[in-house]
Chains A and B, each alone.
Chain A
């Protein structure tokens, strides 16, 4: 059973299109994240949700809109895609962030987005 699953794995699209990436975790975690990894492998937090509530929004263009219908799902919708949006997007979840012992991030396998 995959702990954090995201779909699709690959997404190739034209500039200006709107696309969504879905993420689901079956670990029972309250906190979920979206990270963007650029071509140089730099990993940057985009959003974080705790129990369906947005808690981190890291100066991401408002073309990016996360949605959390329940605490097991965190989807990412991107409007009017631009060339610079090409990257690998990772979903992650964690139990008890900042609480110590059981703390860790569980990552999905990533969605490689290519905007042409």
Chain B
């Protein structure tokens, strides 16, 4: 089945440590790829997106993500995590299936230790 997978439900890192959140998709063609962040009690906010071109994309808040076609992955990274990064992170794809749709992964909850 076509899907977006975030294998890590929870991740805990110490403040200042590096972070990588995993995302894999299973679609035949390369879809448009997104990472969104959801702070408690808030809607989702776009961190970054990939459509084409350079496979390493930069986003807001110091985040970056790398598209790897061979692995069908779009992992999110940050070199040094801040306590304010604690939130829920969602990978999403945009693709046509009759109509254009955004499909979200199940999310990864990030906890940051002081």
Residues of chain A touching chain B, judged by Cβ–Cβ distance below 8 Å, are 4, 33, 40-45, 48, 55-56, 90, 92, 97-98, 100-101, 103-105, 107-110
Take A97-B94, A98-B100 as given contacts and tell me if A42 and B43 are in contact as well, using a CB distance cutoff of 8 Å: no
Which residues B27-59 have CB closer than 8 A to chain A? Answer: 32, 34, 36, 38, 41-46, 49, 51-52
**Which residues from B are CB-within-8-Å of A56?**
99, 101
**Which residues from A are CB-within-8-Å of B43?**
4, 90, 92, 107-110
Which residues B55-114 have CB closer than 8 A to chain A? Answer: 88, 90, 94, 96, 99-104, 106-107, 109
**Which residues from A are CB-within-8-Å of B36?**
105
Take A97-B94, A104-B34, A104-B49 as given contacts and tell me if A110 and B101 are in contact as well, using a CB distance cutoff of 8 Å: no
Query: Could you tell me if A97 and B45 are in contact, using CB atoms closer than 8 angstroms?
Result: no
For the residues of A in contact with B, the DSSP-based class is loop
Query: Could you tell me if B42 and A110 are in contact, using CB atoms closer than 8 angstroms?
Result: yes
Q: In the bound complex, how far is the Cα of B42 from the Cα of A108, in angstroms?
A: 8
Q: In the bound complex, how far is the Cα of B46 from the Cα of A98, in angstroms?
A: 16
Partner pick for B96 among A40, A92, A98, A107, CB 8 A cutoff: A98
Query: Could you tell me if A103 and B32 are in contact, using CB atoms closer than 8 angstroms?
Result: yes
The 9 closest A-B pairs by CB, nearest first: A107-B43, A98-B100, A43-B104, A104-B46, A41-B107, A107-B44, A97-B100, A100-B51, A109-B43
Query: Could you tell me if B46 and A105 are in contact, using CB atoms closer than 8 angstroms?
Result: yes
Q: In the bound complex, how far is the Cα of B41 from the Cα of A4, in angstroms?
A: 15
Q: In the bound complex, how far is the Cα of B59 from the Cα of A104, in angstroms?
A: 13
In the complex, besides A56-B101, A92-B43, 17 extra interface pairs with C-beta distance below 8 angstroms are A4-B43, A40-B106, A41-B38, A41-B88, A41-B106, A42-B107, A43-B90, A45-B102, A55-B99, A90-B44, A97-B100, A97-B102, A103-B94, A105-B102, A108-B43, A109-B42, A110-B43
**Which residues from A are CB-within-8-Å of B90?**
43
